[in-house]
A and B are shown apart, each in its own frame.
Chain A
Amino acid sequence: MSPDEDDDQLLERLRQVAAEADAVPENVLAAARAAFTMRDTDLELARLVADSAEAGFEPVRSGAVAARLLAFDGGGVQVDLDVEVAGGRTVLIGHVSGADACVLERGDGSRQLVPLDELGRFLVGGVRPGPLRLRCRGPAGRTVATSWVTV
């Protein structure tokens, strides 16, 4: 047997062991299939234009709070989002302009209203980990969503 065939065989064996020891969980496969139900061709995208986690910033920290600052822009809507994690709890603090109502949308499609004050500011506590985005009613009633962020 050639060394290449030996390698192919060993890799095949590893593939079988991986299927046993570290298979893709069923909920991960289900979430992948369900992602398509989030498709909405009328949605306009407010793209991520700044992310403190990617810009090579030093982590923003005060005491035991770790914060990540994000900015989105698109479809006439701007969102500044501050993701703060303290003691294992996640809080979203932000500001929206160009929109008069927003919901927080999770990867599984669930939504919760995000109350905006008269200046467009909001605070949402007790956010569970995972992907989320802000979905807002923008200029002329258009629906604008930020790109996905995993917290």
Chain B
Amino acid sequence: MDRSIDVDSVDLLGRVRAGDDAAWAELTGQYTNLLWSLARGMRLSEQDAADAVQTTWLRLVERIDTIRHPDRVGGWLATTMRRECLAAIARRERVQPADGWDDLPAPADPLEDGLIREERDAALWRALRALRPRCQALLRVLMADPAPSYADVALALDMPVGSIGPTRQRCLAALRQLMRLGPEPV
């Protein structure tokens, strides 16, 4: 693992604890994309993803002075976000049957391709949707920008660090396979 990242995160959290707004902006700039990617990979709607990301940051503010391992703030965020996503899914499951499925607007598909200009890219994005959910979630998290550390990915998806590399390889191979098969039959 890259030790310089850990040192940076200890320093960054120290500055955040001292009340440094710029340090907070840097921290949110570094991780918000990962948190969003995790929520979307777990197929939360835009609204639920937005609430889960906001709650995760509010929880960090709430706990900022008592976090035990400032060197692992990324892992703390990934774990907290995963929990928020599971809670959002549970909330939907609790509420929806009571409301009746018919009354609800279908949540926007996180793999909606309407915004993509190039057909080639849209086809790639649609192929993702045909992968099994585990692959979709892993690849969506690995797409986060900046690229997340495997330690953070492991906590985000609750999988062993050692299985990320091999699973990534298998999921990308499956994606290539789907692309080779061409446009999905309708």
For window 11-26 of chain A, which residues contact chain B by CB distance below 8 Å?
11, 13-22, 24-25
Q: Is the interface of A mostly helix, strand, loop or mixed?
A: mixed
Tell which of A33-41, A91-99, A117-125 binds the partner.
A33-41
* Chain A: interface size category: 35 or more
B33 touches A (CB below 8 Å): yes
* A39 contacts B19, C-beta separation under 8 Å: yes
Inter-chain contacts of A139 with B (CB < 8 A): none
Please tell me if the beta carbons of A22 and B32 are within 8 angstroms of each other in the complex. no
Q: Is A28 an interface residue (CB 8 A)?
A: yes
17 A-B contact pairs sorted by A residue (CB < 8 Å): A3-B169, A10-B175, A13-B124, A17-B125, A21-B125, A22-B112, A24-B33, A24-B36, A28-B36, A33-B24, A35-B61, A36-B16, A36-B21, A66-B98, A130-B51, A131-B58, A150-B52
Q: Could you tell me which B residues sit within 8 Å of A by CB distance?
A: 16, 19, 21, 24-25, 28, 32-33, 36-37, 40, 46-47, 49-55, 57-62, 64-65, 84, 87-88, 90-91, 94-95, 98-99, 103, 110-113, 115-117, 121, 124-125, 128, 139-140, 142-145, 147, 168-169, 172, 175-176
